[in-house]
Amino acid sequence: MRALSAGSCFAEASQPRRDRSRRGLARSDPLDASEPGGRRRLYSARSKTSIDILGTRTAGREPVEGIALSQLLQVLINGLAVGCIYGLIALGFVLVYKATEMVNFAQGDLMMLGAFFGVTLIGDFGLPWLLGLLLAVLSLAVFGYLLDAFVLRRVLGEPQFAIVMLTIGLGFVFRAVAGLVWGYDPQSFPTPYTGKTLRMGEVVVSYENLTILLGTFFLCLVLFLFFRHTRLGIGMQATSQNQLAAYYVGIPVKRVFSLVWAISAGVAAVAGILLAPVSLVQPGMGFIGIKAFAAAVIGGFGSIPGALLGGWIIGISEQVAGVYLPAGFQEMTAYGILIIALVLRPEGLFAQVQRKKV
Amino acid sequence: MTEAQAQREAASDVLLELKNVETYYGPIMAIRGVSLTVPAGRIVAVLGANGAGKTTILRTISGVMDPQKGQIFFAGEEIARRDPDAVMRLGLSHVPEGREVFPFLTVSENLQMGAFSRRDRVTIANDLDRVYDYFPALADRGSQQAGQLSGGEQQMLAIGRALMAHPKMLLLDEPSLGLSPLLVHQIFDIINRINEEQGMTILVVEQNAHVALNHSHYGYVLENGRVVMDDTCEKLASSPDIQEFYLGMKDQMPRGVRRWKKRKTWR
């Protein structure tokens, strides 16, 4: 399971149109591309831009008349799939922030851990995909719970700055530990559906992307039902809206915080396992958390639908930029949109405005 | 104070008792050794001006703040320095100052949250009916977001939410805050009803001495973190100091004793 898979080499081969339909495994973010020796190349001329997990760059930009529309559709679907991943990580940011008012900069690295758990359980132990997914999510959720109960609870009430530094530091620790345990070589993540595609006319959807879309949909449905209709879910909302009042009505606020961390770590694990087949699993893959952070900010940093929408906006525009704009723009898109969004609508797309009556 | 001590012994079923409680905000001492008792089934009022430490007393009781010194007994159990949710589960519901509802939850979800620590659906449903009976205004707005309610309705919601926990005792922090005089009387009438119909013990903290003395049985007067007077509400209401400084009554003589020369007898 170590070493680059044949699939990623296939994507490198870059056959213009055919290859787009196959959409094998592709490279990952240049920021993440660590040398086996551990030295990281930043922005080397050689490294390709952006995550390009869907191989749109290899899809080429040759202007073939007549396929323009289907190409656009294809790009949109790809963008939606990447956007789902960004959205899921952003969801983790938002959940923790809403409940505990901490910004967890280790969210991307939790996703990375989830992907490694998935590789180990499904790839190495040979568990069925769904069972492996559930086990990985569960174990990462337990990890998130313990992380809050034993580490983050101690900095609660400290200045934001301390919390931010702590979570950034935790991210470094996670990356280092993952490198020690699983190595720094990128690993492929085999799934039962790898390489299969669904054809709808000119538009081709790979099963990897389909899983991302469906997985995100079901996860959001489950979360929606949980937050709307269960006592604990409403209690979590209540805690995020008014922590003091939550104490007064007898909600065990500290346990709720830990449970929110568990949920957010579980969501990160889902994101990691959905992302793993189209990217490669390696300790640096959590860096896409930065773009997910931008997605969360665009969405309003406190709104769950906003996080998903922000993810989609960034995912789609990134893919569009990758296909229709000169090389290099794709990498900047997320941050460009972030700046525009902050100028035009600094409170985010779905900001909840609360006015207290006195 | 002998009279007060006698009364304390007479009231054999003391539900809540504070003994020499001292609470600090950082280096600032907010409560300087307060002792008070609340007998079961009564309404006890704590009066005082801004910054007297009224809210701090309630926060210390419900566990949001920890006292540096002193003991707090609720139903015979020492509850000082416990987590607020643990105190609350013993049967002590706190209605915080400024209402503190969950603004983006609906009214019925807010009430449901009041019963967070309870499991029994039947008794919860009974309590919900009773809350809607006390506050019919809330019943019409069950599916509305609590943040959109008027101030008076939010206060009713906060009290209703506390009742949903089926507590042994209510702590009310300034229920009159920011409400019109008419609404204040309505709310205190309901508080009296809750006390009479359910035998609910209530500790109410108020700036509005007039209303508080009219609606409760026993009162403590708090100044600068100390209890300076305590008596039954009738006696307090007739005491010249209270009349002058808390009820704002003037002397009968137009040019009698000048207010600015008069000193409080406890100073």
Please judge whether A248 and B96 are an interchain contact, meaning their C-beta atoms are less than 8 angstroms apart.
Answer: yes
Residues of B within 8 A of A245 (CB-CB) are: 96, 100-102
Q: How many Cβ atoms sit within 10 Å of the Cβ of residue B49?
A: 14
Residue to mutate among B55, B100, B120, with most A CBs inside 10 A, is: B100
Q: How many Cβ atoms sit within 10 Å of the Cβ of residue A225?
A: 11
Of A6, A1, A3, A8, nearest in space to A279 by CA: A8
Query: Quick check: B99 and B154 in contact, CB under 8 A?
Result: yes
Q: Is the pLDDT of residue B207 over 60?
A: yes
pLDDT for position A67: 67
Domain assignment present for A354: no
| Domain that includes residue A227, residue range | 6-281+289-344
Indicate the pLDDT class of residue A115, thresholds 50, 70 and 90: very high
Q: Is the pLDDT of residue A104 over 70?
A: yes
Please judge whether B85 and A244 are an interchain contact, meaning their C-beta atoms are less than 8 angstroms apart.
Answer: no
Least confident of A56-70, A258-272, B61-75, B109-123: A56-70
CA separation for the pair B131, B139 (Å, rounded): 9
Q: Is the pLDDT of residue A346 over 50?
A: yes
Indicate the pLDDT class of residue A24, thresholds 50, 70 and 90: very low
Strands B218-223 and B226-232, bridge-based pairing: antiparallel
pLDDT for position A46: 36
pLDDT for position A198: 84
Of B234, B205, B203, nearest in space to B221 by CA: B205
Q: Where in chain B is the domain with CATH 3.40.50.300?
A: 2-91+167-261
Indicate the pLDDT class of residue B258, thresholds 50, 70 and 90: low
Rg (CA), chain B: 19
Pick the more confident residue, A157 or A51: A157
Residues of B within 8 A of A242 (CB-CB) are: 100-103
B169 touching A (Cβ < 8 Å): no
CA distances A117 to A88, A89, A271, Å, are 17, 17, 12
CA separation for the pair A168, A134 (Å, rounded): 27
CA distance B88 to chain A (A): 6
- pTM for this entry: 0.80
pLDDT for position B12: 55
SS3 B249: coil
Select from B104, B113, B150 the Cβ nearest to the Cβ of A249. Answer: B113
Pick the more confident residue, A53 or B224: B224
Nearest-Cα residue of chain A relative to residue B163: A249
Q: For residue range A172-200, list pLDDT tens digits in order.
A: 999 999 999 999 999 888 788 877 888 87
Indicate the pLDDT class of residue A11, thresholds 50, 70 and 90: very low
pLDDT for position B26: 85
Q: Which three-class secondary structure string do you get for A309-329?
A: HHHHHHHHHHHHHHHHCCCCH
Q: For residue range B54-113, list pLDDT tens digits in order.
A: 889 999 999 888 999 999 999 888 998 888 888 888 999 999 988 789 999 999 999 999
Indicate the pLDDT class of residue A64, thresholds 50, 70 and 90: low
pLDDT for position A126: 85
SS3 A204: strand
Mean pLDDT of the residues in chain B = 86
Residues of chain A contacting B, Cβ within 8 Å: 231, 234-235, 237-238, 241-242, 244-254, 352, 354-358
Domain assignment present for A320: yes
Pick the more confident residue, B266 or A341: A341
SS3 B187: helix
Q: What mean pLDDT is predicted for residues A12-22?
A: 36
Retrieve residue B243's tokens.
Answer: 């009349």
CA separation for the pair A7, B176 (Å, rounded): 71
pLDDT for position A102: 87
Retrieve residue A339's tokens.
Answer: 């700046």
CA distances B248 to A290, B48, B210, Å, are 62, 13, 9
Nearest-Cα residue of chain B relative to residue A241: B102
Residue A333: give its domain's CATH number.
1.10.3470
Give the CA count within 13 Å in the CB-facing half-sphere of A259: 15
SS3 A117: helix
Q: Is the pLDDT of residue B235 over 60?
A: yes
Residue linked to tokens 């008012």: A101
Pick the more confident residue, A40 or B158: B158
Indicate the pLDDT class of residue B145, thresholds 50, 70 and 90: very high
CA separation for the pair A195, B121 (Å, rounded): 52
Q: Is the pLDDT of residue A12 over 50?
A: no
pLDDT for position A60: 46
Indicate the pLDDT class of residue B144, thresholds 50, 70 and 90: very high
Domain assignment present for A358: no
Of A215, A187, A168, nearest in space to A36 by CA: A187
pLDDT for position B27: 87
Q: Which residues pair with A205 in a beta bridge?
A: A198
Pick the more confident residue, B111 or A33: B111
Q: Is the pLDDT of residue B195 over 90?
A: yes
CA distance B21 to chain A (A): 21
Q: For residue range A285-310, list pLDDT tens digits in order.
A: 989 999 999 999 998 887 888 899 99
pLDDT for position A187: 87
Q: What mean pLDDT is predicted for residues B208-224?
A: 90
SS3 A210: helix
Q: Is the pLDDT of residue B188 over 90?
A: yes
Mean pLDDT of the residues in chain A = 80
Q: Which residues pair with B172 in a beta bridge?
A: B95, B204
Q: What mean pLDDT is predicted for residues A68-94?
A: 91
pLDDT for position A19: 38
Q: Which residues pair with B221 in a beta bridge?
A: B47, B229
- The total of structural domains in chain A comes to 1
Pick the more confident residue, A157 or B259: A157
CATH of the domain spanning B2-91+167-261:
3.40.50.300
